[in-house]
Amino acid sequence: MEGTTIPPTPPRKFLVILCGLPSSGKTTLATLLALLMEKHGTPTVVVGSDDFRRMMPIYRERFPPDREPLIRRATLRTIAFFLGRGVSVISDDTNYYSSMRHELVELARRTGALHAIVAVETPLEVALKWNEERGLPIPQSVIVSISEKFEKPGSKYKWDRSSASFDLSKVPAAEAAEEVLKLLLSLKLEDEKAVSSGSVAEEIDRVTRRVVSEAARRVPSAAKVLSKERRIFVREALKAGLTTFEAENAFRRRVEEVLNALDAKGR
């Protein structure tokens, strides 16, 4: 109808979830993709946990595992900050557990962002070679360890399937970035029902089992007590509506409390 004002289409924002080994080419891909998205009129920021590790000088001397939950929380909150303000984000991280990708998919759903999981499948031997050529900024043992723990996207859950995958030792990063941009522009916002409460329960159950397994390797005699504590905790976490990330951090703290109490009893 003549004279009718058509409301402007709200700008689309994206969350690109990269996953792959350290030193596999993710940062190069993220940088090139961000520049392409900017040229297409999409304000984009690259956010990675290494940005926060660089703020802590201790990481230059050693890798402190106890700092990682804090690093992860800072990374997620920064991603949420930009998405909440209409800025697209590329998550430049290993995201090697499905639970890590789950947190990001949930974040995209809550902020109304279109999302895509992009798997960087550069082989381990190539990642180790590239890391060596860069002067070993990451301990080779860390790369090997992540390779052993890596959960391939889509291996367990449909929502976790990758939208694209690239071996950056064979595909030029610039070409991969062009392909991802085409993919993003073809996405349509749908009801994000893929991440159901059922899958959250499965993830919390799985990550807490992993925490118990890790702790039991340190203190085998505590395995039975920790297993009982885990069952109680899972019920509490689901009742409280915790995300997988929050549940894992809270359970790790509880496990340490239990181990400390057992240690004090044994003295």
Query: Residue 195 pLDDT > 50, yes or no?
Result: no
Q: Indicate the pLDDT class of residue 81, thresholds 50, 70 and 90.
A: very high
> What would the pLDDT profile of 16-72 be if each residue is shown by its tens digit?
999 999 999 999 999 999 999 999 999 999 999 999 999 999 988 887 888 988 999
Q: What's the whole-number mean pLDDT along residues 112-141?
A: 94
Question: Looking at residue 10, what DSSP letter applies?
Answer: P
Beta carbons of 247 and 208 less than 8 angstroms apart: yes
**Beta carbons within 8 Å of 58's beta carbon, 6+ residues apart:** 64, 67
Q: What's the whole-number mean pLDDT along residues 3-28?
A: 77
> What would the pLDDT profile of 154-176 be if each residue is shown by its tens digit?
998 889 999 999 999 999 999 99
Q: Indicate the pLDDT class of residue 191, thresholds 50, 70 and 90.
A: very low
Identity of the highest mean pLDDT range in 188-192, 205-209, 238-242: 205-209
pLDDT at position 29 is 98
Could you tell me the fold of the domain covering 14-186? Rossmann fold (3.40.50)
Where in the chain are the domains? 14-186, 197-266
Tokens 């996953």 locate to 19
Q: Where are the beta strands (DSSP E) in the chain?
A: 14-20, 44-47, 88-91, 114-120, 164-166
Cα→Cα distances 137→60, 93, 134, 140, 201, Å: 9, 15, 7, 9, 37
